[in-house]
A and B are shown apart, each in its own frame.
Chain A
Amino acid sequence: MSDEKKPVITEFTKGLIKENPTLVTLLGMCPTLAVTTQASNGIGMGLATTFVLICTNTVISALKKVIPGAVRLPSFIVIIASFVTFIEFIMKRSMPDLYDALGLYLSLITVNCIILGRAEAFASRNSVLRSALDGAGNGLGFTLALFIMGSIREIFGAGSWMGIQFGIETPVSIFIMPAGGFFVLGIVIAVVNKLAKKKPPKELHCAGCPNEELCEKYRCDKEAKAS
């Protein structure tokens, strides 16, 4: 159980930078690298994921007493897939261009590990309000990361931003290739770490690990210490 005394709003703000799902916990790498060739695709993908994340976190938190522990993962996936199908239909109808640009990756939101991770680590242990805020924070953090990466890759790799052409004749096209995606991701992570003044741990141990709440070993150690 996470600390219920923390102000509710921190559940929202922590996902933006401090525990940013893409840049700090490194979840959801597949869409991060695949759809960020344009800034607008990054925003579209991020907002679609945010919507799914808020809905699934809310529903799973509300149903946490109903879902038996042994079948919780299949149940989570069914709930997530329902919302993904829902947003897919909406986007196909109202934003066909974005729907085509995202292609397969839209359906793959179902297996995005940010969503399953938040469901397992947070929503299934916390209240509905906190879970919804956690989903919104993580979703917007994901959107922010995708938008930054998409902007860098689009500006350097295609000489445009949000579809506005700058008239550059020879863009550095490696930025929109997969290799360039990895370069940009690494550098953005490095900059975020620098800004967050996070130093690499001298020894690898559980404290400070962003995945600590997921980790059985850490929980056991903590309980052993408390008793």
Chain B
Amino acid sequence: MNGLTVAPSPHRSTKLSTSMIMLNVVIALLPSAVAGTVIFGARAALVLLVCIASCVIFEALTRKLMKKEQTISDLSAVVTGLLLGMNLPSSIPIWMAVIGSFVAIVIVKQLFGGIGQNFANPAIVGRIVMMLSFTAFMSSWPVPFWYKLGADVVTGATPLAAGAGSISYIDLFLGNCGGCIGEVCSIALLAGGLYLMAARIISPAAPAAFIGTVALMTLITGGDVLFQILSGGLFLGAFFMATDYATTPLTNKGKVIFGIGCGLITFVIRNYGNYPEGVSFSILIMNLLTPYIDRLTQLTPLGAKKPAAKEA
């Protein structure tokens, strides 16, 4: 990875390399990971570490098997592992987490050509495959601070499954509720997301459109807006997964379309679907549509003539 790497235009000299971007994403995810560990105990940290380690090992092994340049130093596998781990309940059996990492890295990322070539977000597909395969394990969540209750792991429903009014907004905001390791503490996710925007790693277009659409649709249908925004994996998905470079549209217009699509699908699945949460499905579906959105929102280079509109 040494030497000159030429990125798409504008060709400015920059220190921002893939590994720097990924390092920033890891930094932004840390508050939420730490919060998850505080809320769900050491078991949560173990799940996160297993996911990260297995993702990095799988990446190294597949690159070696395919006789290609090693890419673990760009930290993208660490980000995938961390994101996947944060999308799992802390009580998940360890071997299931390893299977999820295998799907994410080997099947979704490396078989399609490695970083930048994957058609969908690896962590999302890893989570969905686990969700469909081990539904019972993936939808039983330990209650917060169970380790202080002095009993065996007590499981409870997520606020989304229990319904609005089951929990106060402040508990939702701080993460004192059931859920996946990294999705419960909204304030930590918000801090991480704002950090990434301030560092210009991600554009606010997709997250704003995503969260805004969910809020608007909830408002129109008379639901509890704040509850819908703060609960479930909406913040985690909007800030960290709907902004992935390889699998979301390039232009701002495209990002807004992407975000609105995610928001609509999430809203529909949450309210009318079989599953309590639809963030991961919505991001996967919009990932698949990304090439078409990119084609629709192609920019005209400055000074170039607009291509003549085809006669209908």
What residues of chain A have their CB less than 8 Å away from a CB belonging to chain B?
170, 172-175, 177, 179, 183
Contacts and interface: CB of A to CB of B under 8 A. Distances in A.
Interface residues of B, number: 10
18 contacts: A170-B93, A170-B96, A170-B134, A170-B137, A172-B99, A172-B133, A172-B134, A173-B132, A173-B133, A173-B134, A173-B135, A174-B129, A174-B132, A174-B133, A175-B133, A177-B132, A179-B132, A183-B107
Nearest to B93: A170
A177 B135 CA distance: 13
Contacts of B96: 170
A27 B143 CA distance: 51
Interface in B113-143: 129, 132-135, 137
A55 B133 CA distance: 41
Q: Is the interface of A mostly helix, strand, loop or mixed?
A: helix
Contacts of A170: 93, 96, 134, 137
A66 to B, nearest CB: 50
Which of B93, B96, B129, B135 is most buried by chain A, counting CB atoms within 10 A of its CB?
B129
A191 to B, nearest CB: 13
Contacts of A175: 133
Contacts of B133: 172-175
A175 B99 CA distance: 13
A62 B208 CA distance: 69
B118 to A, nearest CB: 15
Interface string B176-191: 0000000000000000
B196 to A, nearest CB: 31
A179 B130 CA distance: 13
Nearest to A173: B133
Contacts of B135: 173
Interface in B129-185: 129, 132-135, 137
Contacts of B107: 183
A173 B96 CA distance: 12
A117 B133 CA distance: 37
B285 to A, nearest CB: 13
A170 B99 CA distance: 13
A175 B137 CA distance: 17
A135 to B, nearest CB: 35
A173 to B, nearest CB: 5
A172 to B, nearest CB: 5
